[in-house]
Structure 1
Amino acid sequence: MANITLGGTPVETVGTLPKTGSKAPDFKLTAIDLSTKTMADFAGHNLVLNIFPSVNTGVCATSVRTFNERASSIDNTKVLCISRDLPFAQDQFCAAEGLDNVVMLSDFKTGAFGDNYGVTFKTGGFEGLHSRCIVVVNAVGDVIYTEQVGETGDEPNYEAALESLG
């Protein structure tokens, strides 16, 4: 488990991020059109998994906006923004913000993604939501970069995540 903080208070996650060099775990997540998406739907693309508690918080919204802007110029790369928000809330956020370079995906049905990737808060006020993390997966499905943000209220290291793509 990861020991991180939420507003300066220690909290724990259910596990740890996948190891660099390992195959990224498969997933079943819900898209804003309510279709189910799996790793196979993004085969052959580099993936930046932008994982966060809720798009309705300031830092989470900033991470979606930032990746929408920065990743739009990276060839063969998709940014998947993953939370337990309902797909309707994710869609409304992107529509209101004019964001179209990210793919919003929800783990609201089962929470299995959060458990399999080790990012679900086990304790604290956000228990059951996802902690703030970045996982970068190359086009053949290998994890090439991870970041578990130590203080949930902090932004991830965008530059390091995107530089991992070469």
Structure 2
Amino acid sequence: MNVTKKGEVVEIIGVQPEVGTKAPAFSLKNLNDEIVNLSDFTGTPVLISVVPDIDTRICSLQTKRFNQEAATVAGVKFITISNNTKDEQANWCAAEGVDMEILHDTDGTFGNAYGLFIPAMGRLARGIFVIDKEGKITYEAISTEISEEPDYDKALEQAKAAR
């Protein structure tokens, strides 16, 4: 799959899981160095927000928006994943006052499982996945232009419907 970054075509390697299929398992560390598994949330819908670089404007906006929504949408677990380092993520969260679950995919586990790694950038593509209580993907949106914000309303609508 190809996406663009400010109009320049970049290739995503791998295959994205499809809506209606079981979400690929993953285990990533959070900012407390605890291992978080997707299976930890069985029985709870999960909205996974994937950002290329937490220290860039659009990724910052996306993460702050879902952090705000996490405080008001009951019954849905919100997670942000990037391949920034733990220190980069922790510094950004401290500066921005963000307290949602942030996971770092520095070894490519998530990026490979979800087909989101962009070799030319060494980053993940921008995307959103909603996973229902049974672990199936009910919504997937990979941004065709990395430098544009995703459709928050549609993702939130799907997450609320998965409750």
Give the TM-score of the pair, scaled to structure 2: 0.93
Give the TM-score of the pair, scaled to structure 1: 0.92
1:134 counterpart SS class: strand
After TM superposition, the structure 1 = structure 2 runs for residues 10-159 of structure 1, keeping only pairs within 5 Å, are 10-100=9-99, 102-108=100-106, 110-122=107-119, 124=120, 126=121, 128-159=122-153
Alpha-carbon separation, structure 2, partners of 1:72 and 1:18: 28
| Identity rate, percent | 32
Render the CA deviation track for 1:22-60: whole Å, top value 9, x for unaligned: 010000111101121111222222111100111001000
Q: Structure 1 segments of 4 or more deviating over 4 A? A: none
Whether the 8 Å CA contact 1:90–1:104 is kept in 2: the answer is yes
Q: Which amino acid aligns with 1:146?
A: E
Q: CA deviation at 1:62?
A: 0.5
Task: State how many pairs are aligned.
Answer: 160
Q: Which amino acid aligns with 2:115?
A: G
Q: Which amino acid aligns with 2:102?
A: M
Q: Which runs of 5+ in 2 are unaligned?
A: none
Q: Which runs of 5+ in 1 are unaligned?
A: none
Whether the 8 Å CA contact 1:17–1:148 is kept in 2: the answer is no
Render the CA deviation track for 1:92-119: whole Å, top value 9, x for unaligned: 211221122x2100011x2121011000
2:14 counterpart SS class: coil
